[in-house]
Amino acid sequence: KRRRVRSRRVLAAQFAGYIVMSAPDASRRRVATIASHVVTQSTNTFGVANSAGKFTKSPDDVVILDACRTPITRAKRGGLAQTCADDLIAAVLQAAVVRSKVNVHDIGDIVVGSVLGNSSQRANEVRIGGFLAGFPKEVPVRTVNRQCSSGLQACADVAASIKAGYYECGIGAGVETMTANPMKWEGGFNPRVASSLDAQNCLIPMGVTSENVAERWGITREAQDTMAARSHARAANARATGRFKNEIIPVFTKQTDPKTGETRDVVVSEDDGIREGTTVESLAKLPAVFKKGGSTTPGNASQVSDGAAAVVLARRSYAEAHGLPILATWRGFVAVGCDPAIMGIGPALAIPAVLKAVNLSVNDVDLYELNEAFASQATYCVEKLQLDPERVNVNGGAIALGHPLGATGARCMATLIHELRRRGGSGKIGITSMCIGSGAGAAAITEIE
- The residue from 68, 148, 338, 412 that is catalytic is 148
The contacts of residue 1 (CB under 8 Å, 6+ apart) are none
* 3 state DSSP class of 156: helix
Whether 403 sits among the annotated catalytic residues: the reply is yes
> Residue type for 15, please?
F
Beta carbons of 346 and 441 less than 8 angstroms apart: yes
Whether 338 sits among the annotated catalytic residues: the reply is no
* 3 state DSSP class of 283: helix
- The residue from 338, 381, 412, 435 that is catalytic is 435
The contacts of residue 6 (CB under 8 Å, 6+ apart) are none
- The residue from 155, 232, 381, 403 that is catalytic is 403
- Phi and psi torsions of 378, nearest 5°: -65, -40
Beta carbons of 147 and 437 less than 8 angstroms apart: yes
Q: How far is CA 15 from CA 8, 25, 288, 368, in A?
A: 10, 18, 64, 49
The full length of the chain comes to: 449
* 3 state DSSP class of 204: coil
- Phi and psi torsions of 280, nearest 5°: -60, -35
- What secondary structure, in 3-state letters, does 249-296 show? CCEEEEEECCCCCCEEEEEECCCCCCCCCCCHHHHCCCCCCCCCCCCC
CA atoms within 13 A on the CB side of 132: 16
Q: How far is CA 101 from CA 65, 104, 245, 278, 437, in A?
A: 9, 9, 19, 40, 36
Residues assigned a catalytic role: 148, 403, 435
